Amino acid sequence: MKPIIKFGSTGQVVKELQVLLNKIQSALGRIAEDGIFGQQTRLRVIDFQRSRGLAADGIVGPATWGRLLGSNGGGAIGAPASADPASPPSQPNETPAAGMTAPEGMPSNEAAARDRIVQFALQNFQQYGGWKQGADRPSASDPRVAGKLCADRSTRLRQGGKAIMNIFTIAGGPAPQRCLTITEQAEAMYQRQYSASERNNIDIVSWCGIFSLYVHKSCGLKVSGWPLKYSIGKPKAQDEYRIVTWPKPGDIGVVSPTGLNHHFVVTGVDESGISSVDGNAGALMEIVKRVYSKSEIKQRQGYFLTPVWEKALMA
């Protein structure tokens, strides 16, 4: 029986896993067969688990091994990729799979976790943010996110689509494969007024909260996949977040909860306001940095979510 392996595992059995995964077509691309269970291997495992209807937790146990080895009706690994209907078709002219290098292991305490969250959020902005509307031209080789734009007309790749797909995959967002490309219908929709329900049907769902959860999960917090688990009013035992009126760096902010319901990662707090990194923001569905004043937070009925640390850092 194969051992249970997960993020942080190393050795020959991890290399065997990587070889098996590379024999299956995936829009996430090939991974290094180096025997190190890092972030890219974890993403491929989650992608495989989702495609086979398994619990997408990134942990390779008996069920996942069974599907990989073909013992549970998942198809022989050596079969041609085209015989695997659950695997998405490869896209021509793709750049290497996008994905931030997440910190290794679990943070040792709350302070270390908060620092890790802030740094990782800022790194995401540095790699995927900074799109300049009107100045930058869409390109499949540019990793920056402008999710309402098509980067390549021949393949319909979305601008920054691989980064968005990784965000959805790690956070447990719905239908991550839809993030990779954008249809002509969706592109046209973004040129006019549209409702949230129309967007959800035609294109990917709003992902500001999914981005915030992605940052937390990437930094080692033991929290469930999307949606965020918290209660308005009296806390419940199953909650993974608690509502607070004023945050610390690393918390998640929420503004306009009865309207846009916009979420962001808090990266700094001082007397003048709150610095943040926001996903699904800006005019073109971008990753941006911004500052919220105290008055804006109050006017937009904002509140903040802090992890239940005794759960989030549980070994």
Residues 81-112 as b/e (b if ≥16 CB within 10 A, e otherwise) read: eeebeebbeebeebeebbbbebbeebbeebee
pLDDT per residue as tens digits for the range 211-244 = 999 999 999 999 999 999 999 999 999 999 999 9
Residue at which a domain ends, from 211, 234, 260: 211
Instruction: Flag the least confident range among 18-32, 255-269, 278-292.
Output: 18-32
- Please give the average per-residue pLDDT across 181-187, as a whole number: 97
User: Is 7 among the domain residues?
Assistant: no
User: Is 219 among the domain residues?
Assistant: no
Residue 177 and residue 116 share a domain: yes
Instruction: Flag the least confident range among 12-26, 69-83, 166-180.
Output: 69-83
User: Is 128 among the domain residues?
Assistant: yes
Residue 122 and residue 185 share a domain: yes
User: Is 193 among the domain residues?
Assistant: yes
Percent of the chain having pLDDT more than 70?
89
Cα Rg of the chain (Å, integer)? 20
Q: Of residues 86 and 107, which shows the higher confidence score? A: 107
The yes-or-no verdict on residue 285 having pLDDT over 90 is yes
- pLDDT at position 101, please? 60
The yes-or-no verdict on residue 306 having pLDDT over 60 is yes
The yes-or-no verdict on residue 82 having pLDDT over 50 is no
User: Is 101 among the domain residues?
Assistant: no
The CATH number of the domain where 76 resides is what?
Answer: 1.10.101.10
Residue 200 and residue 263 share a domain: no
- pLDDT at position 73, please? 38
User: Is 104 among the domain residues?
Assistant: no
The CATH number of the domain where 296 resides is what?
Answer: 3.90.1720.10
Residue 293 and residue 266 share a domain: yes
Residue at which a domain ends, from 187, 211, 235: 211
Q: Report the number of distinct structural domains present in the chain.
A: 3
Cβ contact 291:285 at 8 Å? no
pLDDT band, residue 56 (cuts 50/70/90) = confident
Residue 205 and residue 122 share a domain: yes
User: Is 5 among the domain residues?
Assistant: no
Per the rule left: phi > 0, alpha: psi between -120 and 50, beta: everything else, 110 is alpha
The yes-or-no verdict on residue 55 having pLDDT over 90 is no
The yes-or-no verdict on residue 195 having pLDDT over 50 is yes
Amino acid at 232: I
Residue 134 and residue 197 share a domain: yes
User: Is 216 among the domain residues?
Assistant: no
Residue 204 and residue 145 share a domain: yes
The yes-or-no verdict on residue 48 having pLDDT over 50 is yes
- pLDDT at position 125, please? 97
64: helix, coil or strand? helix
Residue 293 and residue 270 share a domain: yes
Range of the domain at 48: 12-83
Residue 228 and residue 206 share a domain: no
- Please give the average per-residue pLDDT across 241-249, as a whole number: 97
Residue 246 and residue 168 share a domain: no
pLDDT band, residue 95 (cuts 50/70/90) = very low
- pLDDT at position 77, please? 34
Residue 115 and residue 201 share a domain: yes
d(CA 37, CA 32): 10
Residue 235 and residue 202 share a domain: no
The yes-or-no verdict on residue 99 having pLDDT over 90 is no
